[in-house]
Amino acid sequence: MADLLRQIEEEHKKSDTPDFQPGDTVRVAVRITEVSGEEQRVRVQPFEGVVIARRGSGLNETFTVRRVTHGVGVERTFPLHSPTVDSIEVTRSGHPRRAKLYYLRNRMGREARVRERVPAEKPAPTEPADETPEPEGEE
């Protein structure tokens, strides 16, 4: 039974979701359907902010994005594999020391910034040294 549920979940999961974690700044494109009379219009609305939480697993996984607009904090919780979530784009990688960033709700302005993750530098590949030294000056 559990194998059947796992198989059905895998069919409905999105495969194009990027790797992101709390502290990252993301731009979520959300499909909004507007109905006026008999006319139905679908548009995509971006919502950009800091990911303050991720919870759940499988099809039930959700993430919460917070942004401050005109001094008012706005939080939206999105299901990760929902068909209304058109795309997720990571614009900045943060490096917090917590899994849930609810403390950002009490902070304003510069206090609410999350430290940026510095990408690890890869050491330059070294060339293998030749074991036999070439004689200099003899040609």
Q: Give 10-residue mean pLDDT values along the chain (139 residues).
A: 85 88 95 91 95 92 94 94 93 92 89 81 67 63
What pLDDT, on the 0 to 100 scale, is given for residue 66? 95
Rounded to 5°, angle at Cα 130 from 127 and 131:
140
- 12-107: CATH class: mainly beta
Residue type, 78: F
Judged by DSSP in three states, 131 sits in coil
What pLDDT, on the 0 to 100 scale, is given for residue 120? 72
* Extents of the domains making up the chain: 12-107
Rounded to 5°, angle at Cα 112 from 85 and 45:
20
pTM: 0.77
Cα gap 97→22, rounded to integer Å: 10
Alpha-helical segments (H) within the chain: 2-12
Using alpha carbons, select from 76, 78, 81, 84 the residue that is nearest to residue 59: 81
